[in-house]
Amino acid sequence: MEEHTIAENNPVTRKKRSWKKIILIIIGVIIITLVAALLFVNGYINRSLPQLEGTIELEGLQDEVTVITDEHGVPHIRASNEQDLYMTQGYMQAQNRIFQMELSRRQASGTLSEVVGAAAVDQDKYFRTLGLRRAAEDSYEIYTDEGKQVLQWFADGVNAYIDEAKESNSLPVEFTLMGAEPAPWTPIDSLTIGKFMAFDLGGHWERQAFNYYVLNEFEEEKAYELFPDYPENRPTIIGEEEVDVVASFEKAVIPHAFNGSNNWVVSGEKTENGMPLLADDPHLGLATPSIWLQMHLETEDMNVSGVIFAGVPGIILGHNDQIAWGVTNTGPDVQQLYLEKRNPDNPNEFLFEDEWEEATIIDEPIHVKDGETVEYQVVETRHGPIVSEFAEESGKDTVMSLRWTALEPTTELQAILDINRATNWEEFETGLEKFLVPAQNFVFASKDGIIAYKANGRIPIYENGEDALLPLPGWEAEYEWKDYIPYDELPRVVNPEKGYIATANNKVVGDDYPYHISNVWAQPYRYERIAEMIEASDSLTVEDMMDIQMDQTNLQAREFVPLFLEQLQDKSLTENETTALSLLDDWNFVDDVDATQPLIFHHWMDEIEVILYEEIPDGIMGLFGSRAQTTDELLRNAINGNESIWIEENEGLENVLTSSLEATIAKLTEEYGQDMTEWAWGDYHKVQFDHPLSGIHPVLAYFFNNEDPMPVGGSSVTPMAAAYNSETGIVGHGASWRFVIDTNDMNTGYHIVGPGQEGHFRSDWYHNQMDDWVNGDYHATELDVEEGKSLQFVPK
């Protein structure tokens, strides 16, 4: 006992106890601090969650407005007048998606550098050059007073939210991470976002630049093989000086080549209940938040439900209580590059009809966060902005300008307001006349049994469609656009005998149509499969429409796999290559997530392109839009015994097929092992809805992406659209919204909005539709919903 007491009183022992106590105190303080910090951060983040219940005072309201947010996160806005309706829509969009809205207007306006820094300067230069915001400002001037008023009411609602969020320090955490706050919203911001969607679905100037490049770099016969249509009149390069296409467009922002859609409408003659069915799934970028926001807007005079781009009033796609509609991209030639001859003695003058014309010089200073302002000027000729010099010099005295219908004043919002109120085909078609860009294939169905189709928009008249294959001489009046296809002569179908109308970015007119629409159409496989499934039944249901949207049958593989097998029959192959061909021979041609064959086939097609186009620089391949269609045609011609220079220079079709197969099997074996039966399409082909800030740091990716990439079936050539990055396998483009409706019940539409409705990563509706997107689980949205979280807006 005495020894124990002596040990306890030992100075060394007491010192150890003291340090132990200090360490425990320090640890305790750290834990308390971390918990407090966590609680603070948690509270701060949650403070920006949208308010869905209770009461909000909104200055400018005339009466009370009720917003019921249903179990799927869809806000149903009921107002007694349009002013209150659109103000509330603006507020609700802002509290759901204000960060997305901010980035959208900045990207389209070319002002990202103000919040991102120098990394965005080149992108800003490009969008300043295009002038989407300038075009929006010009468009605003031709809107009716009603249209301007709706835009202002919507902006008032957005600004009410912004002011409250700033005052209460409850802006979304993304603004804190960027060190920025949103400026007041304006009507021009909404119109600029609309112009950006026209950009995303714009046209084919990049293919003109590509055609120009190959004609300069290769023999004519070889170059013409890569043209979308083999030209009869053989257009030639114009001008004494060549524009450096690689340098000119190296930093250009090129929309994804897969931007398109599926839609179809079926008459009552082919449905189980005798009433029309409509389906639509636009194919755009897949990201967090979704490009679409689902909403329901109701007044005494209007009851419309569907989706809209965040930052824009109204409903662009969906249905009301009488009609339903959907779109795909028509893809017409609405963009034209012009070669411009610059005056050697005055760089701001360009030749037209033997005279020098003064260009318009527009100052577009680019303010850069933590950097100096970039003094930037845009040069516009009679045709449009000079786009070949936004990054650097492209030619001494010859440059390229861009004429594009979207850079002219247009009135899409006016059309949206009209079609939201339309009750029949005549009213709907009249409203569409104001929807000028982008040109779209609208399908229509109504409860009176009518089904219809209209390709709307401004489509230039080309006297010779081959003129749209290449840049045109800007100094000759004969190559000017003279007019647009008259609205009454645009492609149109009402109640066809076959009982359905479908479009999938395929060719929509026959050879007897009197006007040129486009030289570039999507591969036909999605359309052919959709038509095949519709024609297989005369008792179609809503569930059948959903099955078609989720169908993963690959008609490209159905065409080419038997042909490839025939070409390689009895050829000397390795054991692994023979096994691969045997697997393909047993394939049902479905791009199933668990199947081995899609992994082999799609990599094989990719490797074929690597071999065929090895001579084309990476910077130019980005301009080679719709090249898969060109590849298919080269292969068909070779298989049918027609010579192809691109194939013959690679030692013939057999060598192209065997070399690409060898590369495919070697790559897949290294990645997935020797046992091919263990390979699965979903091991490679996965969907990831990336948040724009997730690429900055893994921690942000953890919070904002929320889910690991999910294995998914389908591909770019199946009705279930899922286009992927060939280097990573990540699906970044596809059906951004899926929609089906039975006109026998106009109260209910069926939707999938991937990955979810909300933009706040703590929301229950942030990524709740990712599984639904992969598996095809639709949710019903009703016009007469009564249950949900109820929020009252009252006059302030």
Q: How many degrees, rounded to 5, is the angle at CA 487 between CA 485 and CA 493?
A: 105
Q: How far apart are CA 304 and CA 552, in angstroms?
A: 32
User: Is 261 considered catalytic here?
Assistant: yes
The one catalytic residue among 109, 113, 248, 261: 261
Number of residues written out for the chain: 796
The token duo for 384 is 């449009």
Token representation of residue 205? 């100037």
767 alpha carbon, distance to own chain's centre: 19
Q: Residue 581 is encoded by which pair of tokens?
A: 């061909």
333 is an annotated ligand-binding site residue: yes
Contacts 24+ apart (CB under 8 A), 166-169: 168/47, 169/44, 169/47
Q: In sequence order, what E strands does 405-506 have? A: 440-446, 451-455, 472-473, 492-494, 500-503
701: tokens are 């990716």
- Among candidate residues 471, 538, 456, the one with its CA nearest the CA of residue 500: 538
Instruction: Decide if 443 contacts 453 (C-beta within 8 A).
Output: yes
Q: Cis (ω within 30 of 0) for the bond into 460?
A: no
Beta strands in 655-721 (DSSP E): 686-687, 710-711
φ, ψ (nearest 5 deg) of residue 480: -70, 145
d(CA 606, CA 701): 29
> CA 771, 776, 778: angle at the middle one, nearest 5?
95
Classify 270 as helix, strand or coil.
helix
Cis status of the peptide bond prior to 365, with omega within 30 of 0: no
User: What single-letter DSSP state applies at residue 717?
Assistant: T
Write the DSSP symbol of residue 355. E
What lies within 8 Å, CB to CB, of 96 at 6+ separation is 50, 75, 293, 310, 757, 758, 759, 760
φ, ψ dihedrals at 396, nearest 5°: -65, -55
- The structure tokens listed for 465 are 């469609």
CA dist., res. 595 & res. 589, Å (int): 10
Q: Is the Cβ–Cβ distance between 685 and 731 less than 8 Å?
A: yes
Determine the angle formed by the axes of helices 132-140 and 187-200, rounding to 10 degrees: 130
CB contact at 8 A, 404 and 384: yes
Cα–Cα distance, 449 to 268 (Å, whole number)? 7
Q: How far is CA 245 from CA 339, 340, 466, in A?
A: 12, 14, 20
**What stretches of 4-115 adopt beta strand conformation (E)?**
54-58, 65-69, 75-78
Strands 75-78, 292-299: pairing kind = parallel
Q: Which residue has the tokens 């490679």?
A: 684
SS3 734: strand
Q: Which residues contact 380 (CB under 8 A, 6 or more apart)?
A: 131, 359, 360, 361, 362, 386, 401
The candidate with the shortest Cα–Cα distance to 767, out of 714, 712, 710, is 710
Helix (H) and strand (E) counts for the chain? 26, 28
Strand residues in 500-598 grouped as ranges (E):
500-503
Q: Looking at this protein, which amino acid is placed at residue 18? A: S
Nearest to 282 by CA among 684, 752, 725, 647: 752
* Residues carrying an active site annotation: 261
Annotated binding site for Ca(2+): 333
